[in-house]
Amino acid sequence: MRGSQSKEREITATCVRPESVLICGDCTLAGCFFPLASLSCDMPPHILVINPGSTSTKLALFEGQILRSALTVRYESAELDSFAGIWKQFDFRMEGIRRWIRSEVHAPLSAVVAMGGLLRPVQGGTYRVNDRMLADARANLQGEHASNLGCAMADALAREHGCQAYVGDPVSVDEIEPLARYSGHPLIQRSSLSHALNIHAAARRAATELGRPLGEIRLVVAHLGGGISVAPVLGGKIIDVNDANSDGPFSPERTGGLPLQQFIALCFSGTYSEAEIRSLVRGRGGLTAYLGTPQATEVERRIADGDALAREVFEAMAYQISKEIGAMATVLKGALDAVVLTGGLAGSAMLTGWIQERVQYLGQLLIYPGEDEMRALAEGALRVLQGAETAAEY
């Protein structure tokens, strides 16, 4: 495990008030409170960012305008398999986080912000961690996922460091319109579980590049990662989106939507348990099922070596992504300012080239490879701390 440092776009922040400190009267920024004996308003603020994933925990420390330090703590499957559920991993993961903090954090923290989990449906934004959020996360309200640990990690560390805890744009952000909730049967309602954090961040970046306010542009944003979320964004809100665990394009590890009659037959064939079926569609689907690997770089290597099946499968994924983009464009009645591709797979020139061939008729294509979720989380906290946005109550 290694720490890394990188140059990033400029951001600023300010401190929030621990209960025991005096209020500094010199600063005009909203929410700026400093222990007068130890800090001044000229001191760069520090924001700790935490992003727990299924096999890792990402950490970052922002100091003023600079990402000072970052680390991805990776875990062996055998380590995590020894715990009976996500919440049993909490203390184990926190030990590693605290070790990193002791080595990297040398000034008072202004805030701790974490990835939000499978919480209640909420609007997009930055949320103050409270008891209700913690209870819902511990109950795995909409499913068990490592991101549920985020709010509890932020809360514990914020208490230790005398600052406020936040989560940003949880997976459960739900801004979809009423018509988008219909599934085809009243027993099942479509809901919004998506890569909301990165979709919102990419939309803000697109607005900046287009030189227009976010609230005035019309986008289709496709997050292309281990799971794929494709969303029409109108007025800065995700007004429809596929559930990357249940429908939409197949991805490196997930099946996306499947032909229902064949899937029902598979479920009742007696060959698979419920747990095996769930694993088949999320974890062992997509590229993994067809080619035995979720790694796009490996697939492209095989294609370069003349593997015809690898090429056909990879192009089929681009085909399905393009279809989903086209479908979501109809939600905006075809009037788009841009199509945005983001996430790890957006770094594949081969994949994005195939997508561009099929969607370029819709308008401008913007490609933002990678998923800068750590910065997106930090920027959400900064907007609150600077008074540009009010922290939402969960």
Does any domain span residue 180?
A: no
In single-letter form, the type of residue at position 63 comes to: E
Are residues 366 and 383 located together in one domain of the fold? no
Does any domain span residue 231?
A: yes
Return contacts of 388-392, CB within 8 angstroms, 24+ apart. 389/125, 389/126, 391/125, 391/126, 391/127, 391/128, 391/166, 392/122, 392/123, 392/125, 392/126, 392/127, 392/128
Are residues 105 and 218 located together in one domain of the fold? no
Are residues 201 and 156 located together in one domain of the fold? no
pLDDT at 328: 98
Does any domain span residue 186?
A: no
Whole-prediction pTM: 0.80
Helices (H) and strands (E) in the chain, counts: 12, 15
Are residues 40 and 153 located together in one domain of the fold? yes
Of 332, 311, 330, 325, the C-alpha closest to 355 is: 325
Name residues whose C-beta falls within 8 Å of residue 244's C-beta, 6 or more positions apart in sequence: 193, 194, 195, 227, 228, 229, 251, 254, 256
The dihedral built from the CA positions of residue 315, 321, 325 and 326, taken in this order, carries a sign that is positive
* Residues forming beta bridges with residue 165, ordered by sequence position: 112
What CATH number has the domain bearing residue 313? 3.30.420.40
Does any domain span residue 191?
A: no
Using the 8-state DSSP alphabet, how is residue 75 labeled? -
pLDDT at 76: 84
Are residues 336 and 378 located together in one domain of the fold? no
Name residues whose C-beta falls within 8 Å of residue 195's C-beta, 6 or more positions apart in sequence: 171, 223, 225, 227, 229, 244, 343, 371
Does any domain span residue 185?
A: no
Bridge-based pairing state of the strands 164-168 and 111-115: parallel
Please tell me the total count of domains within the chain: 2
pLDDT at 80: 85
Are residues 335 and 385 located together in one domain of the fold? no
Confirm if 84 and 21 have CB atoms less than 8 A apart. no
pLDDT at 316: 98
Are residues 24 and 146 located together in one domain of the fold? yes
pLDDT at 16: 36
* Residues forming beta bridges with residue 370, ordered by sequence position: 343
Q: Please report, for residues 2, 233, 271, 379, the alpha-carbon distance to residue 161 in angstroms, rounded to integers and kept in the order given.
A: 24, 37, 52, 20
Report the C-alpha gap between 191 and 298 in whole angstroms: 34
Are residues 212 and 158 located together in one domain of the fold? no
pLDDT at 387: 87
Tokens of 144: 């068990």
Bridge-based pairing state of the strands 365-369 and 338-343: parallel
Confirm if 236 and 200 have CB atoms less than 8 A apart. yes
Does any domain span residue 212?
A: yes
Query: Mean pLDDT per 10-residue run, the chain (394 residues)?
Result: 36 34 37 39 80 90 85 86 92 96 93 95 94 97 91 98 95 94 96 91 95 97 94 97 94 95 97 94 93 94 98 98 98 97 95 98 95 89 89 95
**Rounded CA Rg of the chain:** 22
Are residues 270 and 169 located together in one domain of the fold? no
pLDDT at 14: 33
The residue range of the domain holding 215 is: 196-370
Of 243, 229, 165, the C-alpha closest to 201 is: 229
Does any domain span residue 188?
A: no
Report the C-alpha gap between 367 and 110 in whole angstroms: 33
* Alpha carbon 143 to its chain's center: 16
In single-letter form, the type of residue at position 272 comes to: Y
Does any domain span residue 342?
A: yes
pLDDT at 15: 35
- Longest distance between any two alpha carbons in the chain, whole Å: 71
Are residues 385 and 364 located together in one domain of the fold? no
Q: Please report, for residues 254, 276, 288, 328, 369, the alpha-carbon distance to residue 281 in angstroms, rounded to integers and kept in the order given.
A: 5, 9, 11, 23, 25
E strands present in 132-276: 164-168, 182-185, 188-189, 218-224, 228-234, 237-238
Are residues 284 and 296 located together in one domain of the fold? yes
DSSP 131-160: HHHHHHHHTTTT---GGGHHHHHHHHHHHH
Centre a 10 Å sphere on the Cβ of residue 7 and count the other Cβ atoms it contains: 7
Are residues 315 and 329 located together in one domain of the fold? yes
Q: Please report, for residues 73, 78, 121, the alpha-carbon distance to residue 242 in angstroms, rounded to integers and kept in the order given.
A: 30, 32, 15
